[in-house]
Amino acid sequence: MNDPFQEDSAAGPLGATGKSEGKMSTETEEKLAASLTAETTELLPFLPYLLQDFWELGSDPMVIAELIKEQVDLSENTKVLDLACGKGAVSVKIAQKLRVKVKGIDLIPAFTEFAAQKAKEFDVDDLCDFAVDDINEAVKKEKDYDCVILGAVGNVLGSPIETLNKLRSTIRTGGHIVIDECYLPDDGKQEDVRYNNYEYFTKKQWEALFDKAGLELIKTVLNSDDTENLDSVSGMAAITTRANELIEKYPDKKAIFEGYIRSQQNEYDDIDNSLVAVTWILKKRGHHLEELL
Ligand SMILES: C[S@@+](CC[C@H](N)C(=O)[O-])C[C@H]1O[C@@H](n2cnc3c(N)ncnc32)[C@H](O)[C@@H]1O
């Protein structure tokens, strides 16, 4: 894991060694930072350190595992793709629980390395494969999956319709998509969202897009508090402790670490007050409107 306390590590974002691995576009960097509630790309090198106390980074692996178990015809040949898999909590737990093959892809090498270690620890390394890539590139190559997961990734794949079309392109007809998202209640307002990172859609708007993208909504799970997750009080305490350690080490960057604590708190407040956290499972129909036009 990237350790900003090592001498060379402040130099470059993301690499397990702290060294930058390849140049990414400003937009990719900005969306990457935002996907982890960081308001500035300056925080990128520090995210593995700040998040070291967590395995789950967003979605609830048990909710996703249950949905897949319930809705997908599973066999030993079932292939699942976990896009922006973070530290692999979802991938490893579904491999362990459902005995399916999982490929997890994330842009932060320290995260995929952590995920691979966890797969070993849980004795599912024969079922799991982790790779470092931009998921916008990965969707062009990864095809014919039985199920694809996008858990707590926001707008990294583009607008909601772009996201749905990209996800759809990775699965076979009859395959499933699992999305963990937040939507705006019908009477909610974008201005009420405190961590105002991108435009949230209402449930109705999402549902219209599912249809347009040739996807059938099979089941919706509204997410209650997941105690292992970042939105717990202890989660906030862990983030604050790590941010304070970084402030001590890098006093000149105090403002960005304090900003990180604030944006995390705002995001949890949004989920409690202004947004609805949901997990959807959808099924790919044979064709979709845009293909017919
Ligand atoms: C909030 S985390 C969710 C992680 C995981 N899906 C989960 O639910 O635990 C968002 C993840 O998106 C990843 N990410 C953001 N932009 C990406 C990109 N362009 N390609 C691959 N991964 C990306 C981040 O590195 C981070 O691990």
Q: Tell me: the pLDDT tens digits for 60-112? A: 999 999 999 999 999 989 999 999 999 999 999 999 999 999 999 999 999 99
Q: Where are the domains of the chain?
A: 1-293
Say how many C-beta atoms besides its own lie within 10 A of residue 122's C-beta: 16
Q: Which of 28, 54, 57 to mutate to test the pocket of ligand 1 (most atoms within 8 A of CB)?
A: 57
Q: How many angstroms separate the Cα of 119 from the Cα of each of 31, 64, 254?
A: 27, 17, 36
The letter for the amino acid at 90 is V
* Residue 55 DSSP SS3: coil
pLDDT band at 289 (very low <50, low <70, confident <90, very high): low
* Residue 123 DSSP SS3: coil
Q: Given this model, what pLDDT does residue 42 score?
A: 97
148 lines ligand 1 (CB under 6 A): no
- Does pLDDT of 227 surpass 60? no
The answer for 77, left when phi > 0, alpha when psi is -120 to 50, beta otherwise, is alpha
User: 221 pairs with which residues across the strands?
Assistant: 279
Give the whole-angstrom CA distance, residue 191 versus residue 290. Answer: 32
Backbone angles phi, psi at 94, to 5 degrees: -75, -35
The answer for 89, left when phi > 0, alpha when psi is -120 to 50, beta otherwise, is alpha
Write out the two tokens for 254.
């105090």
Helices (H), 9-156: 26-35, 47-50, 61-71, 89-98, 109-121, 135-141
Cβ–Cβ under 8 Å, residues 14 and 109 = yes
pLDDT band at 22 (very low <50, low <70, confident <90, very high): low
Ligand 1 atom index nearest CA of 31? 16
Give the whole-angstrom CA distance, residue 96 versus residue 245. Answer: 35
Q: Which of 44-48, 91-95, 125-129, 221-225 has the lowest mean pLDDT?
A: 221-225
Strands 101-106 and 128-132: parallel
* Residue 225 DSSP SS3: coil
CATH for 1-293, among 3.40.50.150, 3.40.50.300, 3.60.15.10, 2.60.40.3500? 3.40.50.150
Q: Give the Å distance between the CA of 292 and the centre of ligand 1.
A: 32
The residues, ordered by sequence, that sit 6+ positions from 15 with a Cβ below 8 Å of its Cβ are 2, 21, 109, 110
User: 183 pairs with which residues across the strands?
Assistant: 276
Q: Which of 153, 178, 198, 264 to mutate to test the pocket of ligand 1 (most atoms within 8 A of CB)?
A: 153
- Does pLDDT of 17 surpass 50? no
Q: Give the Å distance between the CA of 288 and the centre of ligand 1.
A: 27
By alpha-carbon position, which residue is closest to atom 2 of ligand 1? 57
Quote the distance between the C-alpha of residue 9 and its chain's center. 24
Strands 145-151 and 79-83: parallel
- pLDDT tens-digit profile of 155-197? 999 999 999 999 999 999 999 999 999 999 988 888 888 877 7
